Amino acid sequence: MEIKKSEIKRWAAMGPRAAFGMGILKLYEEEPDFFVMSADLGSSSGLARFYSKYPESFVNVGIAEQNLIGVAAGLAKDGTPVFATSFAPFISMRAGEQIRMNMGYMHLNIKAVGLGSGLAMNTLGASHFGLEDIAVMRTIPGMTILCPSDGLQIVKCIEASKHYNGPVYIRLSGGSDIIYDDNFNYEIGKSIILKRGNKVALVGAGSVVSQALKAADMLEKQGISCTVVDMHTLKPLDEDTLNSLIEYELIVTIEEHTIIGGLGSAVAEYYACGGKRPRQVMIGINDFYPHPGSYEYLLNECGLTPEKITERVMEVYVGK
């Protein structure tokens, strides 16, 4: 896809769900050979323009996430890519077993999109938060898991996942920060080093990468030189990049997800089997359901603001 500079700003400003809808529309206008599905959240997924323009390729199953994935499987049975969308907890857990059978066991070409994951649904409360979706999806054999970190990456991730023949879970989280202000090379399974330092490596996935970048600047001011990695693919994990971080004094994983079973766990599992491993700090949501509030309030409650990340890293780094 050709990407214009003006689009990049627009996608970021719109927020992840609208950027997703724009990306789907743009891709479809170049390659009209896939289906998009919703469980009565079409307009909340930025898909209103898509379904009014291309109703023949849009399927709404109503508020029925299990049937969403079942019908997606039937549509994908001949190899057609199908983007099936709903809020993260509903698609990953209410339809979890449908995902297991159709995307895991049968390895069908479905792209399950978890909208508003992490803390993005802020005042809607924990019923709508995506705190456990990565943990659940990681256990499905053959699943690819993508966590785009900004508007442009969302669009690139949609394109890459459409071109990949197999099951993908795409996790959209919150915020409207720009991380990539120009077109870049996006490849599933290949993380991106956003900043190079030599003492501490901050590894993030999803929109929280922007908090990691800000934390890295704060840590630099304290004399701690940081590398920042955008680990946009959680499965398969980019082992080459993890190998290149082994000599760092500290690896800090940062995620808008429970600390059980997400990015931090995946990284720890990888290092645990090696002969040499760096010390790891896992920053994420500490096995509780945060009280609802603004996105900023929630990041703060969960220790995910740049200030809180910096504080936590300093504590461990200085104390070690």
Partner 1 sequence: MTSKEIEKLALAVRKRIIKMAYECNNNVHLGGALSMVDILAVLYGDILCNIGGSYEERDKFILSKGHGALALFATLGEMGIIPEERLHTYLSDGSNLCAHPVMEPEIGIEASNGSLGQGISMAVGIALSAKRKKRDYQVYTIIGNGESDEGLVWEALASASHFQLDNFTLILDDNKFQNDGASETVMYYPNYKERLHAFGFDAAEIDGHNISEICKALRSRHTEKKPKAVVANTIKGYGISFMENDNSWHHNRLTQKNYEQAMRELEESIWR
Residue reference for tokens 């693919």: 233
Site size toward partner 1 (CB under 8 A) is 26
| Binding status of residue 66 toward partner 1 by CB under 8 A | yes
**Closest approach of Cβ 73 to partner 1, in Å?**
4
Q: Which of 13, 43, 53, 105 binds partner 1 (CB under 8 A)?
A: 105
For the CB of residue 79, give the shortest distance to partner 1 in the complex, in Å.
9
Identify the three-state secondary structure at position 193.
strand
Among 40, 54, 70, 293, binds partner 1 (CB under 8 A): 70
Q: Which is nearer to partner 1, 105 or 184 (CB)?
A: 105
Give least dist CB 37 to partner 1, A: 9
- Contact between residue 120 and residue 174 where contact means Cβ atoms under 8 Å apart: yes
Site for partner 1 contains 91 (CB under 8 A): no
CB of 70 to partner 1, least distance (A): 2
Stretch that binds partner 1, among 62-70, 113-121, 275-283, 290-298 (CB under 8 A): 62-70
Near partner 1 by CB under 8 A: residue from 85, 86, 98, 144: 98
Does 141 engage in binding with partner 1 (CB under 8 A)? Answer: no
Residue 102 is a binding residue for partner 1 (CB under 8 A): yes
Q: Is residue 72 within the footprint of partner 1 (CB under 8 A)?
A: yes
Contact status: 71 vs partner 1 (CB under 8 A)? yes
- Residue 31 touching partner 1 (CB under 8 A): no
Contact predicate 141/104, CB 8 Å: yes
Chain positions contacting partner 1, by CB under 8 A: 35, 56-57, 59, 61-62, 64, 66-67, 69-78, 80, 97-98, 101-102, 105-106
